[in-house]
Chains A and B, each alone.
Chain A
Amino acid sequence: MINEVAKFPIPHPVGDSVPRVDAREKVLGSALFADDLQFGPGLLYARIKRSDRPHALIKKIDTSKAAALPGVKAVVTGEDYAGMMGLYLRDRHIFCRDRVRYVGDPVAGVAAASEEIAENAVDLIEVEYEDLPGIFDPEYGATPDAPLLHPDLGNYEVANFIFPQPGTNISNHFRIRKGDVESAWSECAVIVERKYRIPHVQHVPIEPHVATARVEENGKVILWGSSQSPFAQRSLIAKTLGFSPSDVQVIAPYVGGGFGCKAGVSMEALAVAIAMKLKGRPIKLRLTREEEFFTAFVRQGVVAYFKMGCDADGRLLAMENRFYWDGGAYTEYGVNITRASGYSSSGPYNVPNVKTDSYCVYTNHPVGGPMRGFGMPEMHAGLEQCIDELAHAIKMDPVDFRKINCIKAGDTLVTGMKMHPTGLSECLVKAAQAINWGRKDPPSAPHKRRGKGLALMWKAPAMPPNAGSSAKIALNEDGTVTVSVGGQELGQGSFTIAAQIAAASLGVPADWVRVATPIDTNYSPYEWQTVASRLTWSMGNAVAAAGRDARKQILDMVAKAWQENPDDLDIIDGKVISYKSEETISLKNIVIYGIPLPDDQGWIGGPVLGRGNFMPSYVTGLDPETGQGQRAVVHYTVGAQAVEIEVDTITGKIDVLRGVAAFDVGKAINPDMVKAQMEGGFVQGLSTALFESLNLKEGFPQNTSFVDYRIATSSDVPRDIQAIIVEVPQDDGPWGARGIGEHAMVPTIPAIANAIYDAIGIRVGAPPYTSEKVFLAMQDAGLVK
């Protein structure tokens, strides 16, 4: 019998590019997103009165006219909600109470019978302000001259690894002091010093934020939302509004793109707060595309200073970096971007002497939040250009320079942590090979210049040290498997990964597994948040543990029935087999009903339910003065990108002809989906490199539509994007896997910038590298008239 099974090679569900579990319903149009849920005629619609000035005291709010409008059911203001909210730093109210801090800050909310009535009511709310001077530049905000945006900073509740500076606008100051930077400079043969101002960008999920809330008469809350973070939202909203997390149920169907902006809480608490005034009625709040651009989260801008030097052999000796993160009006989430960029501030290089000061600064700008890469694309944009400059200055090939200096296993990182086994050198070599590094092809037209550029990256999951995951695996009557997770499907493929890992850990074909959807905090097991590219690794470990647990229950039952040792049994392709007796039995029937004992002597077993969890236990604190500690992070995913471009000297237009991405993912659970992440991330990176900037003028956003804020379209992407998978296993990853979602867009900006330099000999500086900017730079350099 066993030999019969073994005759057919069984594809292992891990490492196989199985089809996505969510694709069919998505192409049929039947996949449900939060705005698709039906609430019947009782549904009310909310709109928000927002600040139309960047910084002002609220003197008076008159809601009487709005409340009197027929169809209006409730009008609320900050008076009604005293609680403060925030993920790492509780620095915001749900509705402003005494002052507004950015254009778009919620001042009042309306619920009405239609969106139109709610919008009209919002227009009738009169707010009297007293304008205050604003901060529109983080470097200025960090000086003692700047007005104070949060006088109560010292009283805010804060995570123990965030260091606010009360009496200033600095809500986190993260320091690295490794080695002795001052004395290292004298040993440097070459030093490069640069400043970059990286603009704000927006995530631009195609699905805008939407949240529907209902508060029951018995005090229970239900929130249906487009959410990367059902459990974090449950916890944050409960605490702010005075509920128990167990009384807040967050139901989150498929997310139409997140990229970070649907993590934490951005607008969801507004809907819950309004619903508290209208018990029993569902209240839907849907952001317009215009609101999406500046009232949920944006990617912070940053002013970054780099100073780095190497010796005559090209060995990096020292780096001194200062980052002024433009945290915006509230930095509850952004403070940890400051930290993440601090503990990774050397970039993926071995540098013996590093001094870093990373500041999170309050400004009167939109609220900075997590976005794909969590500070790394912004930091690498400048850092990887400086590395290129340093290589050129010491007359080394930039790839050779990176080969010498890039992080290798056992290196001491900026935090003192030792680097784990890593495939960065392999990524570098493979990316350079694939782009034919060193070969210069002629341009496609006489007025074009051709160039190649390359950049490296690293990124660790940025999260609390104890961010946890859990999973459940239930078996069904026919032997199929239902896996429950709290991690969300945002398009990155997490449900497919959960299904593959469940199948592999249990011993069933991948297509026997169903994922329990939607994510529902009442029924789904806990997951901290779907962020940080942590699901494949962390949730994957939890699913694998649940699979092993279920497997053990099944093997123990069958061993008892067969009077064998469980160690002699296995589950292969959905059947329990014995290597000893060569017995087999299908999972069908036995996983719910158990197995009858011989001679009708009773039954053993019962419904099989596996459970598993995972939480890293080894991440240590860092010294607040030096940023040094045993282990700052769980691990780093590393990689390289290379591009070939052409610069049109008549128009300044950049054409990206070809892209290569090579990342060390530890183990590709689903190689095709890994490649899809690398391609999609490359294009999002390309889009931020060439087109994107959320322009803010004295705090007022200037380009809040797709006409004025351009993202890459089908006409902008190169035909050839090559994705290369490198696999150096992670010791505690499922089958060695690490995350890849965010990393794929981290090195794209500097790779393109370095290619521009290669093509025209000009450092264009900060993105976006628009035709206009490139043309003017060529004009300044005398390259064109």
Chain B
Amino acid sequence: MANHRITIKLNDEFEMVDVPANMTLLQMLRDKLARTGTKNGCNAGECGACTVLLNGEPVNSCMVLAVECDGAEVITVEGLAKDGVLDPIQQAIMDHGGVQCGFCTPGILISAKALLDRDSNPSEETIREALVGNLCRCTGYLRIIDAVKDAASRQQALTN
């Protein structure tokens, strides 16, 4: 299969990658760039573990071809913290005990981040809807929902 050279901005750094036409964004992140924070849970767009921000929108990276991302900006879980300071959603999910095995956590953080980017004060229903595509088998979700609420108020406190 022919390779294509693409350029993406990944977590604030530019990357030039040669990818086969059928390679997914998830495969490129994990296998070509060794950014393994983004997880492969089903490879079918059903579990949300591979969620990343593509030009600011949350997508299942297993459902996006890498070649489609030429020139795009991608943010993964590794790009949330800045200079060792956690994003409010990362801090909140820790503080609320919303992490257990941690395998769904990267996707959940990205979905929550995307929600908070478009809605700074989401209702509980909105939070539940935003996370409905991110399966978690450990926590029972409540602590994660509480963490998103809390992150929203922390962010508001920061901006006020």
Instruction: Report if A and B associate in a common complex.
Output: yes
Residues of A within 8 A of B144 (CB): 714
- For residue B36, which residue of chain A has the nearest CB? A36
CB-nearest residue of chain B to A372: B137
Chain B 84-107 near chain A by CB (<8 Å), digits 1 or 0: 001000110110010111111110
Q: A727 interface residue, CB < 8 Å from B?
A: no
Partner of A204, one of B35, B76, B99, B137: B137
Q: Is the CB of B99 within 8 A of A38?
A: no
Q: Are B78 and A714 in contact (CB under 8 A)?
A: no
Chain A residues near B154 (CB-CB < 8 A):
none
B97 touches A257 (CB 8 A): no
- Collect the chain A residues with CB atoms within 8 Å of residue B36's CB: 29, 32-33, 35-36
Q: Whole-angstrom distance from the CB of B67 to the nearest CB of chain A?
A: 17
Within 8 Å CB of A204, what residues of B? 135, 137
Contact of B145 with A by CB under 8 A = yes
Cross-chain contact A256 with B97 (CB below 8 angstroms): no
CA distance A256 to B49 in the complex (A): 11
CB-based contact A680/B100 at 8 Å: yes
User: Given A27-B93, A205-B103 in contact, is the A289-B137 Cβ separation under 8 Å?
Assistant: no
Question: What A residues does B132 contact at CB under 8 A?
Answer: 713-715
Q: Is B59's CB within 8 Å of the partner chain A?
A: no
Which of these, A208, A259, A672, A680, contacts B140 with CB under 8 Å? A680
Question: Is A603 located at the chain interface by the 8 A CB criterion?
Answer: no
* Partner pick for B137 among A28, A205, A208, CB 8 A cutoff: A205
Which residues on the B side are within 8 Å of A491 (C-beta)?
Answer: 100-102, 138
Q: Which residue, of A23, A29, A705, has the highest number of chain B Cβ atoms within 10 A? A: A29
Contact A20 B42 (CB under 8 A): no
Within 8 A of B (CB), among A552-603: none
Interface pair A706/B135, CB less than 8 Å apart? yes
Within 8 A of A (CB), among B93-143: 93-94, 97, 99-106, 109, 124, 127-129, 131-143
Interface presence of B63 (CB below 8 A): no
Verify if A255 is at the interface (C-beta below 8 Å from B): yes
A676 and B42 alpha carbons, distance in the complex (Å): 25
Cβ-defined partner of B97 (8 Å) among A29, A259, A676: A676
* Residues of the B chain whose Cβ atoms lie less than 8 Å from the Cβ of A707: 46
Interchain CB contact under 8 A, A257 and B103: yes
Does A27 lie within 8 Å of B103, measured CB to CB? no
Closest to B38 in A: A29
Structural contact, B41 and A207, CB atoms closer than 8 A: yes
* Interface members, chain A 682-717 (any B CB < 8 Å): 682-684, 705-707, 711-715, 717
The residues of A that contact B155 with a CB separation of less than 8 Å are none
Knowing A680-B140, A715-B132, the reply to whether A29 touches B41 (Cβ < 8 A) is no
Contact with B along A33-50 (1 / 0, CB 8 A): 101101000000000000
Complex contact A711–B137 (CB within 8 A): yes
Contact between chains at A706 and B128 (CB < 8 Å): no
Residue of A23, A206, A681 contacting most chain B CB atoms (<10 Å): A206
Whether the pair A714, B131 counts as a contact (CB closer than 8 A) is: yes
Decide if B53 is an interface residue (CB 8 Å cutoff). no
User: A680 — which chain B residues lie within 8 A by C-beta?
Assistant: 100, 138-140
List B14-61 residues whose CB lies under 8 Å from chain A.
30, 34-44, 46-47, 49
**Which residue in A19, A682, A715 is a CB contact (below 8 Å) of B94?**
A19
Report the interface size for chain B: residues with CB under 8 A from the other chain: 54
The interface residues of chain B lying within 8 Å CB-to-CB of A31 are 102
Select from chain B the residue with minimum beta-carbon distance to A29. Answer: B37
Q: Does B77 contact A (CB under 8 A)?
A: yes
Q: Contact: A259 with B137, CB < 8 Å?
A: yes
Judge whether A207 and B103 touch: CB under 8 Å: yes
How far apart are the CA atoms of A222 and B157 in the complex, in Å? 51
The CA of A28 and the CA of B141, in the complex, are separated in Å by 19
Q: Of the candidates B47, B81, B129, B135, which one forms a contact with A28 in the assembled complex, judged by CB atoms under 8 Å apart?
A: B81
Complex: chain A residue closest to B136, CB-CB: A206
User: Closest approach, in angstroms, between the C-beta of B65 and any C-beta of chain A?
Assistant: 15
Contact of A206 among B47, B94, B99, B127 (CB under 8 A): B47
Residues of B within 8 A of A207 (CB): 39, 41, 49, 101, 103
Contact in complex: A713, B77 (CB < 8 Å): no
Q: Which residues of B contact A27 (CB under 8 A)?
A: 77, 80, 86, 90-91, 93-94, 99, 102, 105, 109
Closest CB of chain A to B7's CB: distance in Å?
A: 22
- In the bound complex, what is the Cα–Cα distance between A739 and B38 (angstroms)? 32
Most buried by B among A38, A491, A673: A491
In the complex, A28→B80 CA distance in Å? 8
Instruction: Scan A1-37; emit 1 where CB is below 8 A from any B CB, else 0.
Output: 0000000000000000001101110111111110110
Identify the closest chain A residue to B87 (Cβ).
Answer: A27
Pair B109/A288 contact, Cβ less than 8 Å:
no
B124 & A719 in contact (Cβ 8 Å cutoff): yes
Contact A676 to B100, CB < 8 A, known contacts A24-B94, A205-B137, A206-B49: yes
Shortest Cβ distance from residue B104 to the other chain A in the assembled complex, whole angstroms? 5
Residue A493 at the B interface, CB < 8 A? Answer: yes
Q: Contacts A289-B41, A707-B46, A715-B129 hold; do A26 and B102 have CB atoms under 8 A apart?
A: yes
Residue picked from B30, B36, B97, B102, most chain A C-beta under 10 Å:
B102
Are A717 and B101 within 8 A (Cβ)?
A: no
Given contacts A29-B76, A207-B101, A717-B142, contact A706 B44 (CB under 8 A): yes
A172 vs B76: C-alpha distance in the bound complex, in angstroms?
50
In contact, A714 and B102 (Cβ under 8 angstroms): no
Residue of B nearest to A670 (CB): B97
Chain A residues near B106: list those with CB within 8 A. 29
A492 at the interface (CB under 8 A from B): yes
- What residue of chain A has the Cβ atom nearest to residue B144's Cβ? A714
Distance between Cα atoms of A483 and B103 in the complex (Å): 24
Residue of B nearest to A30 (CB): B37
Q: Does A721 contact B (CB under 8 A)?
A: yes
Query: A520: shortest Cβ distance to chain B, in Å?
Result: 19
Q: Are B103 and A206 in contact (CB under 8 A)?
A: yes
Most A C-beta atoms less than 10 A away, residue of B40, B41, B44, B138: B138
Per the bound structure, the CA–CA distance linking A714 and B128 in Å amounts to 5
Q: A707 vs B133: C-alpha distance in the bound complex, in angstroms?
A: 11
Given contacts A288-B43, A289-B44, A676-B97, contact A28 B134 (CB under 8 A): no
CB distance from A530 to the nearest CB of B (A): 12
Q: Among residues 489 to 544 in chain A, which have CB atoms less than 8 Å away from a CB atom of chain B?
A: 490-493
In the docked arrangement, what's the CA distance between A28 and B99, Å? 12
Which residues of A have CB within 8 Å of B128? 714-715
Taking A27-B80, A206-B39 as known contacts, 7 extra A-B pairs with beta carbons closer than 8 A to each other, sorted by chain A number, are A20-B97, A22-B99, A35-B36, A207-B39, A680-B138, A705-B42, A706-B47
| 11 A-B interface contacts by CB (under 8 A) | A28-B77, A36-B36, A206-B137, A256-B102, A257-B103, A289-B41, A491-B100, A491-B138, A676-B97, A712-B140, A713-B131
Please provide the 10 A-B residue pairs with the shortest distance between their CB atoms, ordered closest to farther: A29-B37, A491-B101, A256-B103, A26-B102, A683-B140, A491-B100, A29-B77, A36-B36, A706-B46, A289-B42
Q: B-contacting residues of A (Cβ < 8 Å)?
A: 19-20, 22-24, 26-33, 35-36, 38, 203-208, 254-259, 288-289, 490-493, 672-673, 676, 679-684, 705-707, 711-715, 717, 719, 721
